Chains A and B, each alone.
Chain A
């Protein structure tokens, strides 16, 4: 990923910022500036997703490109957000065999990748199981 490409999407990557149609309420992620249902009758405004949802489907990446090779094995999932859209994201699990369709997940802020030892660090949103913290 190039530095400008990452920088342009920082708000979307860090804070799951998409858009919402003020006419029909449909939400979009990645953001769309035009509602395909309401067309000219609709207006889209920025919308920040809470990001909770559940896994629709997933795969376990065991052989990754160089940028992700140190993180294997990891789970890459399509997640149905409570607020509408489906997003693709990495699910952080200690044991990748725990991944399940229907698993509830919540967003966390993590390193997505780095450009080598001296390049920029890419941060963004990953997901973890949405389970209550244990009673201490």
Chain B
């Protein structure tokens, strides 16, 4: 059955504390930190972008398991911060892992769920027998306009999942999606920063779609939250996933391993995928994982995943690449001026 062959995550080392952003804009730091449940967020190095993050995540995935890159027949990179408007990030990734030229590739964009859309596409291609392996990546160097509410959480990072049917470390039993046309968040062509509908982003956006996809999965599988060991939800802040988990009937313990947003921020297309990677970092054979992403615009993808014995087999070396917790450890903290330089917010001559 189709599932996850291997996975890898990548997070740049740089962090900025939310207190520092609040200091610059004269906001009350404790109100913001308390409201979001986020203390700090990642940012890229001067020479890092979505393509470099995607490549590092993909290489970490391949460091965990020996796979002939030539057998990877599809590469999809989901992001809302692709380096080029026209020229696929997926081609750069394919070249950098040695998967070119016999492969299909495309960049996806669906706000924060473009990466999980890539997993679904790879599942389809593998299931249909069109490719042996497909690589789905969610990565972002997320944009937030100076002083905008998004600036407190827009972070950098990504995760890569190799999808196939040969002895997966986790079987994906089913995936379902829930999608509508909802203007909760957008960025027009040529604009540097996205805009959002403020409070509109909550109930009509995140909660409607995450619950829509999750309940659809429960209906189709006959399962309920108590059938799962872990759950991962899109995490634009810490409050939303905690609240939706409670609404659906999941416990705080079920979402704890995958809730990385408090010290990472919102990595957009990488967010739910890094949460899944963090959960797989500690998962044991037989564990059942429920995943629901969310992308503004808006839609959610749910996945019913079961970890197999292969995760502890000789073929898979979990220690072959850093865990998400290791990637979050030992950060380099910067002030707002250095952050602005790294994010290209300073207009140069």
Contacts and interface: CB of A to CB of B under 8 A. Distances in A.
Interface of A: 10-11, 14-15, 48, 70-71, 92, 94, 108-112, 121, 123, 126, 133-136
Contact of B95 (A11, A71, A121): A11
Nearest to B58: A109
Interface residues of B, number: 27
B181 interface: no
A10 B98 CA distance: 11
B48 A111 contact: yes
B47 A133 contact: no
A85 to B, nearest CB: 20
Contacts of B328: 136
B325 interface: yes
Given A14-B92, A14-B96, A111-B48, 6 more contacts: A92-B45, A109-B55, A123-B51, A126-B47, A133-B323, A135-B326
Contacts of B52: 108-111, 123
Nearest to B56: A109
Contacts of B84: 121
A104 B29 CA distance: 40
Contacts of A94: 13, 332
B323 A15 contact: no
Q: Is the interface of A mostly helix, strand, loop or mixed?
A: mixed
23 contacts: A10-B95, A11-B95, A14-B95, A48-B98, A70-B348, A92-B45, A94-B13, A109-B52, A109-B55, A109-B96, A110-B45, A110-B47, A110-B48, A121-B49, A121-B51, A121-B83, A123-B51, A123-B92, A123-B96, A133-B323, A134-B326, A135-B326, A136-B326
A133 B322 CA distance: 7
B67 interface: no
A-B residue pairs, 10 tightest by C-beta: A136-B325, A133-B322, A133-B326, A111-B47, A109-B55, A110-B47, A134-B329, A14-B96, A134-B330, A136-B326
A18 to B, nearest CB: 14
Contacts of B332: 94
Contacts of A136: 323, 325-326, 328-329
Interface string B301-337: 0000000000000000000001101111110100000
Contacts of A109: 52, 55-56, 59, 96
Contacts of B98: 15, 48
Question: Which of A109, A111, A135 counts the most chain B CB atoms within 10 A?
Answer: A109
Contacts of B51: 121, 123
B130 interface: no
Contacts of B48: 110-111
B347 to A, nearest CB: 11
Contacts of A133: 322-323, 326-327, 329
Given A92-B47, A136-B323, A108 B95 contact: no
Contacts of A112: 47
A71 B56 contact: no
B46 interface: yes
A66 to B, nearest CB: 10
Contacts of B329: 133-136
